[in-house]
Amino acid sequence: MKHKMGDKLPGNANWMSRLPEELLDVPLWNLAIPGSHDSMSFCLDTSSPVVESESWFLKVMDRLAPCCTRPCVLRWATTQQTVLSSQCELGVRFLDMRIAKKPKECSKLFFAHGIYTWITVKDCATLRSCWSRHQQIIVSYDNQDMVNNHPQLWTDIPYWYADSTDPKKVIAYLEAQKHAGRPSCFFVSGLNLTETVPFVLLHPFENMRKITTKALTVLLGWVREQQPGPEVDGVNIICCDFVGASNFCDCVIRLNYKGRC
């Protein structure tokens, strides 16, 4: 089934299987793919040692008054409010997974509804080629030594983000990165805002969800103007905070239909 850019998309749980036939043989890094930033932050716990800021100031304050600092950090560190399964139902296909554990503890990823094999052919992974091998999972890891020792792992995926709370600066940064040239494989354009300690102190009644919601009109306006593909200014994975709070996934998925009837 083909869709025009103006059409209302059906549910996004199976959006890849509904793409135009010609896109099934396009490398995955030349498609527009919705992603979630800090995908697991919906379950952060104020009592956990993981809920820490990278700021030295907040680290000192955390030691002096954790009852005040921890809730503050939590307000700004929580960037998603839906569980992973719900994010996938919305259309998210890039999960920014960060798993923390104490020394000597062991973590496992368990997929409860079926067996998903890893995509290991890295020269030209397309939807059709992955389906033919019954492969569905790409695991990227940022430690190159680990990647070298485990060929099933993919190398670190570059993540572009502006380190700013100003959506206009986020867009300016992403545009500058695009014009400098896109990577040859997967890469992420991050719409996520990044707060600073002075910003947090000057906005005691704000949180990450509020400032993200205010910025979405500007950020999604930029998304609608993009085009996926191998060109120097093409986009690939686009990540956002609070993916369920807007039609973000629809906006990204629609980019794959640009120029097609």
- Known catalytic residues are 37, 113
Q: Are 51 and 77 in contact (CB under 8 A)?
A: yes
Amino acid present at 110: F
What are the tokens at 166? 């100003």
Bridge partners of residue 126, in order along the sequence: 27
3-state secondary structure of 210: helix
Cα–Cα dist 171/1, whole Å:
33
Which of 236, 231, 228, 161 is closest to 192 using CA atoms? 161
Alpha-carbon gap, residue 17 to 15, rounded angstroms:
6
Residue 225: helix, strand or coil by DSSP?
coil
Cα–Cα distance, 93 to 107 (Å, whole number): 22
For residue 78, what are its two tokens?
A: 């929580």
DSSP 49: T
Of 176, 111, 134, 185, the C-alpha closest to 155 is 185
